Structure formats: C-alpha cells, structure tokens
Amino acid sequence: MIRCTGVTVRLGDKVVLDDVSLHVPRGSWVSIVGPNGAGKSTLLRYLTGAVAGVGDVHLAGQPFGALTRRQRAQLVAMVPQAPVIPDGMTVVDYVLLGRTPHIRALAVEGPTDLFAVHDALGHLSLLTLADRQVATLSGGERQRVLIARALAQGSPLVLLDEPTTALDVGHQQQVLELIDELRGLHDLTVVTTMHDLTLAGQYADRLVLIDHGRVVVEGPAAEVLTEDNLASYYGAKVRIIHDGDRPVVLPVRRERMPRIVP
Amino acid sequence: MTVAPAATAPALRGARLRPAWVAAGLVAVAAAALAGLVMGPVSLSPLEVVRELLGMSTDLDARQIAIVEQIRLPRVVLGLLVGATLSLCGASYQGAFRNPLADPYLLGAAAGAGLGVTVVIVRVADGAATPGYVPVAAFVGAIAAVALAYALGAAGGGRASTASLILAGVAVASFLTAVQTYVQQRNQDTIRDVYVWILGRLSTSGWSDVWMLLPYALVCWVVLLAHRRILDVLAVGDDEAATLGLHPHRSRLMIVGAATLGTAAAVSVSGLIGFVGIIVPHTVRLLAGRSHRVVLPLSMLFGGAFLCIADLLARTLSSPAEIPIGVVTAFFGAPFFVLVLRSSRRTGVTA
C-alpha cells in the first residue's frame, strides 16, 4: 500500500527525515515509534503532502508525485493529533468535511455523501451525537468523531497521529479496538504513530522505530521492543515482560542515589 | 455490520440555510428599502410608492415620482448593493483568515483607496474635474494595495500563511496611510474634501453609480457564494484542509481576489464605510449559525438592509445636513452588536 524509499525532509536547515524507507503491505497495521522529535509526525505529514521533501513514494502502486492533491486525499486519510475544531460545528458537518475529496470543487454534498457520513457515524456509535457540537464532546467521543471523518473520506489508507495520547486507559483500548475492527471491515491499511509502546506492540503488525530522522529498527514488536533498543534510543531504563508473544514495557525507577546524612 | 441507510439517512442533514431566515432577510431588505423610499424631506405614502413601483396608477404628482425614481430609488439600491457586498466580503475574509477581527479592509484596501483619492483630490483641486476621477482612483488604489500586501505576504516562503498575509496587510496599510497623511497635510485646502470622502457617503448621482458597481459586485458575489463550502473546510486550518484534498492557498487567493474586487468597487462609490463588514456577519453567526452556507447569503441580505437604514438615518437625522454614513453604522451598529452578543451568551445560542 505504501512503498517509499529515500525519503528526506528538511525543515529550515534541519534534516527531520533522513533517507527513510517504509513498506506497509495492504491491510496491515504499522506503528511508528520513537522518542520525541524523532520525525514520526513529519513522516505522516509527508505522506499526506502537508510537508514537502524528496523521496520515491508509491501509494497503492501509484507514484506520489503524479497524484493530484484530491486523488491523494482519496487514497490517504489523516487523523491529526491536535485537530482544529471549528467553533459551533456539529458532528455531522465535521464528518462531512471528510467527503471533500469526493465533492466537485465548488459544489455541495449530495445524498451519497450523506450516506457515507451516516455509515461512518453508525460504525462509531455516534448517530445519537450527530447534532451535538464537536467542541462540547469528551476526549473519547471527539477521537471517535475524528476517526469517523477519516472513515467517511473512504480512503483505503488511514494515518493516525498519536490517536491515544489524550485518552485514559479505557478509551485508549476502545479507540484502538475500533480502529482494528474497522481495518478488518473496510480492508484499511493503518499507520499510527504511538508513544505507548506496549499498546503499539499489542495492536500493530509491525513497529518501525525512528530516531533522529532515521529508521533504526523495524520488525515485529518482540524484535523492536527490547531493553537494549529502548535504552539506546529512548534513554529509558525498562524491563520487558512477555505476555504470550506480546512484549510489555515496564519502566523501572532508577536506583536512588544514597542520601548522605550529615 | 452494515447500517441500513435508506430508512434513516435522510434524517441526517448538514448545515443549511433555513427558509425562515431567508424570508426574514428578504423582509428586512423590503422594509428597509421601502423606508428609504418614503422617508425624507418630502414624506410620501408607502402605499402610493409601492403602487408607483409596481406600475399601477397613483396619486403621486410628477415631482414626487421624480423624487422616488430619480433620487431615492437609486440611492436605496446603491445602499443595498454596497451593504451586501461589504458584509459578504467581511464574512469571507473572516472565514478565509480564520480571524474574527478581519474586515474587507484587512489587507490595506481602505488605505490604498484613501491614498488614491487624496492624490486625485489634491491634483485636481479645482473640483470641476474631480468627481469622475475619484471612484477610479479609489478602485485602483484599493486593488493595488491588496495586491502589494499579498505579494509581500507570499514572498517569504513562497506560500502565504494567514499570519504573514495579515502582517503584510498591516505594514502596507500603515505605509500608505502615512503617505496619505503626508500628502493631505501638505495640501491643507483640500482636507475637507478628503475627510468627507473618507467618512463615506452614498452619492446622489442617480443611477450611474449603481451601474458602475453592479458588474463587479455580481462577479464578487458569484465567486464568494460558490466558495461557501470551501470556506467551511478552511475552518479546520490549512494543514488539515490540504489532507482533505484542498489547495488552501489557491482557495484563499481566489476568495481574497473576489472580495477585493467587490470591496474596491463598493469603496469607489461609497467611500470608506466601516463596521458593516464586521458587525453584520457576526450578528448573523450568533443568531443563525456559523456555517458559511448560512453566513454568506444572510450577511448579504441583512448587510444590505442595515446599510439602507443607516443611510436613511444619515440623511434624515440632522436634515438638511448629512451625517457621514460611516459614523451612523458605528454609532448604532456597535451598541446593537453588544446587545446581540450579550443576549446570545445568555441563551447559549453559541458554543
């Protein structure tokens, strides 16, 4: 679904992504992990065309550069980490925004678009909230609205930037389960960036660890989430516990320096 | 899991313009226009005026008919056109820049028009040749100023962000205002003429101003109304709008271009009428909804009606003298706006 090699992105004179290659098979879930500022979000933004860079990228077999922005939006939907929620906009109107790449430039939505929105709202149990204002919803509901917008967009590839960061543990699970369910139902390919490594390992088929703009390790969770890797790239002291074949990352408090009592 | 759409889907509806609001807007326009036609130094019967306009036989004498058709009607129509255009442009600017304080003069249109007019009035100080050149100077000045601001704002990274455009607009406006003030101070004898123009007025030169404004206004209206859904998409910011398949910079350039054309044409026939472009769209937003499908058309209707009433007050309150219309729009508009703001807070109409 995504095949890219040699992606390099500069912002100002800083190289944010350095010769990144990424291969995401159709229908799979790849999670991009890495310390703060490693370039995870930039990689997603590059794939939606929000930042420019060089690289050889194919989406669904089509060269990235040959796609118009509209065609690209029909292939890739993005769930941003910090979305702008317009004042007073209702859930229906917000999810309708996802239909933009399917509506002719200066036209308004038709019945097909409303059906798509209805479907998306139904899948995410949002029909009862349809007329509520997005700004008044709780964090979990809002995240579902964002996913509904991406679903209404009808793109086979969905990128989610930190979809669980602002949620409590119950809602984190709920959202990730939903994404996984929708992935199966609609044959979606999913790429997420994640801070919670345990959750990333539980849901993604593969992890890609980025540090300083480069891919340093990639593979199944058990291969990426090792004590050595997390020590060298995150500077973290952790223990990895294995729950079946899923690694659980357990941060370990460092030994306290013995206090010198006078 | 499939949701059966046929039975339930029609219940879902996006933001739309309610017929009741359109009706209210049309009533406001009709009432304002009728008031503008019957009131003045010579009071006329509303019924007779309506009969005359509909081509039925009336009791009005030839002089009264001339007052209605040659003097008051063109001025009322001009007020409706200018009010509708400025309100529509203000609403579009606020949407395109995601900035509630934006008005049609945001990118320097007023300062450019002011400089153009000042230069012409100073150059052709004898007055006889002035009237013909003033609108042209205002039109050209306004468009040149916005074009300059846009070019400067886009110069940095090749792409014009809203912030860089607004800053460029501020810079261009202050620069042109400085030049304008300098030219004006050097030519004290024309200060009054310049000042009168700056405060704005609807001229009484019959139908010629209406015909001059109409083509530009129509282009501006068609383009901006066509962008109503795009403006709603732009509300989520340039980055997200781009991931939804839009070219935000291209769309903004179209919107600013059309709004500038309309604003420049309105300014050239009416001078600088402030406040309409801010107060009317915000009032509509507070009362009727925030989607641009609602805000744009209703701003036009209520903006036209508002300016028509403002002009009526401007020419009747201290008759036979005329109060500058810009003074009236601010003097009555500001308290009204505060009222709307307070009552909508209390009833929780807005989020």
Confidence of residue A91 (pLDDT cuts 50, 70, 90): very high
Contact (CB<8Å) B5/A119: yes
Contact (CB<8Å) B351/A153: no
The Cα of B158 is separated from the nearest Cα of chain A by a number of Å equal to 13
**Is residue B341's pLDDT more than 90?**
no
* DSSP output for B19-50: HHHHHHHHHHHHHHHHHHHH-SSS---HHHHH
The Cα of A80 is separated from the nearest Cα of chain B by a number of Å equal to 8
pTM of the model: 0.89
Q: How many contacts does A have with B, using Cβ atoms within 8 A?
A: 112
**Residue in this structure with the two tokens 């040659």, named with its chain if needed:** B70
B318-340 confidence digits (pLDDT tens): 878 888 888 898 888 888 888 87
A210-260 confidence digits (pLDDT tens): 999 999 999 999 999 999 999 999 998 999 998 887 899 999 887 777 777
Is B244 in a helix, a strand, or coil? coil
Q: What is the pLDDT of residue B4?
A: 45
* Lowest mean per-residue pLDDT among B218-227, B228-237, B268-277: B268-277
- Mean pLDDT of all residues in B249-260: 93
Q: What is the pLDDT of residue B5?
A: 45
**Is residue B8's pLDDT more than 50?**
no
Other Cβ atoms closer than 10 A to B300: 28
- Please indicate whether residue B139 or residue B188 has the higher confidence score (pLDDT): B139
Across the interface, of A49, A97, A98, the residue whose CB is closest to B242 is A49
- Identify which of A145, A87, A86, A92 has the alpha carbon closest to the alpha carbon of residue B351: A87
A115-139 confidence digits (pLDDT tens): 999 999 999 999 999 999 999 999 8
Contact (CB<8Å) B14/A92: yes
Q: What is the pLDDT of residue B38?
A: 92
A187-198 confidence digits (pLDDT tens): 999 999 999 999
Is A33 in a helix, a strand, or coil? strand
Contact (CB<8Å) B244/A153: yes
Contact (CB<8Å) A130/B12: yes
Residue in chain A nearest B232 by alpha carbon: A97
* CB distance A10 to A53 below 8 Å: yes
**Residue in this structure with the two tokens 């139904």, named with its chain if needed:** A122
* DSSP output for A126-160: -GGGTTSBGGGS-HHHHHHHHHHHHHHTT-SEEEE
Nearest-angstrom CA–CA distance, A32 and A29: 10
Mean pLDDT of chain A: 91
Distances (CA, A) of B77 to A44, B133, B282: 53, 22, 23
Going by the DSSP 8-state scheme, the letter that residue A248 receives in this structure is E
* CB distance A156 to A75 below 8 Å: yes
- Identify which of B130, B122, B125, B167 has the alpha carbon closest to the alpha carbon of residue B149: B167
**Residue in this structure with the two tokens 């846009």, named with its chain if needed:** B150
- For chain A positions 16-55, those within 8 Å of chain B (CB to CB) are 45, 48-50
**Is residue A145's pLDDT more than 70?**
yes
Among A69, A121, A127, the residue to mutate for chain B (most B Cβ within 10 A)? A69
| Residues of B contacting chain A (CB within 8 angstroms) | 1-3, 5, 8-10, 12-15, 226-230, 232-233, 235-237, 239-247, 285, 289-291, 293, 350-351
Q: Which amino acid is at A164?
A: T
Extract the tokens encoding A237. 């002291």
Give the long-range contacts of residues A222-228, CB within 8 A, separation 24 or more. A222/A246, A222/A247, A224/A33, A225/A197, A225/A201, A225/A249
A169-208 confidence digits (pLDDT tens): 999 999 999 999 999 999 999 999 999 999 999 999 999 9
Nearest-angstrom CA–CA distance, B54 and B281: 32
Please give the backbone phi and psi of residue A37, each rounded to the nearest 5 degrees, phi first.
80, 10
Strand locations in chain B, DSSP E?
A: none
Q: Which helix (H) or strand (E) holds A250?
A: strand A246-251
Q: How buried is B95 (Cβ within 10 angstroms: 0-12 exposed, 13-18 middle, 19+ buried)? A: buried
Q: Which residues of A touch B235 (CB under 8 A)?
A: 84, 86, 89
Q: What is the pLDDT of residue B159?
A: 61
* CB distance A193 to A161 below 8 Å: yes
Q: What is the pLDDT of residue B350?
A: 42
